[in-house]
Amino acid sequence: GNSVTQMEGPVTLSEEAFLTINCTYTATGYPSLFWYVQYPGEGLQLLLKATKADDKGSNKGFEATYRKETTSFHLEKGSVQVSDSAVYFCALVAQGGSEKLVFGKGMKLTVNP
Amino acid sequence: NAGVMQNPRHLVRRRGQEARLRCSPMKGHSHVYWYRQLPEEGLKFMVYLQKENIIDESGMPKERFSAEFPKEGPSILRIQQVVRGDSAAYFCASSLDRNSYEQYFGPGTRLTVT
Q: What is the pLDDT of residues A42-101, one digit of tens each?
A: 889 999 999 999 999 999 999 999 999 999 999 999 999 999 999 999 999 988 767 889
The whole-number average pLDDT for the span B68-82 is 96
Give the burial string for B45-71 (b: 16+ CB within 10 Å, else e).
bbbbbeeeeebbbebbeeeebebbbee
Beta strands (DSSP E) in B31-84 are: 31-37, 43-50, 53-56, 65-68, 75-79
The span from the CA of A23 to the CA of A105, in Å, is 10
Tell if the CB–CB gap between A49 and B102 is shorter than 8 Å. Answer: yes
Task: Please state, as a whole number, how many other Cβ atoms lie within 10 Å of the Cβ of residue A43.
Answer: 19
Query: Would you give the DSSP letter of residue B71?
Result: S
pLDDT of residue A34: 95
pLDDT of residue A82: 96
pLDDT of residue B100: 64
Round the average pLDDT of chain B to a whole number and report it.
Answer: 92
Q: What residues of chain B lie within 8 A of the CB of A46, using their CB? A: 102-104
State the smallest CA–CA distance between residue A16 and chain B in angstroms.
Answer: 27
The span from the CA of A81 to the CA of B73, in Å, is 40
The pLDDT tens digits for B94-112 are: 998 766 668 899 999 999 9
Q: Does A102 touch chain B (CB under 8 A)?
A: yes
The span from the CA of B16 to the CA of A67, in Å, is 48
Instruction: Identify which of B41, B98, B104 has the shortest CB distance to residue A105.
Output: B41
The whole-number average pLDDT for the span B41-54 is 91
Answer whether residue A110 shows pLDDT above 60: yes
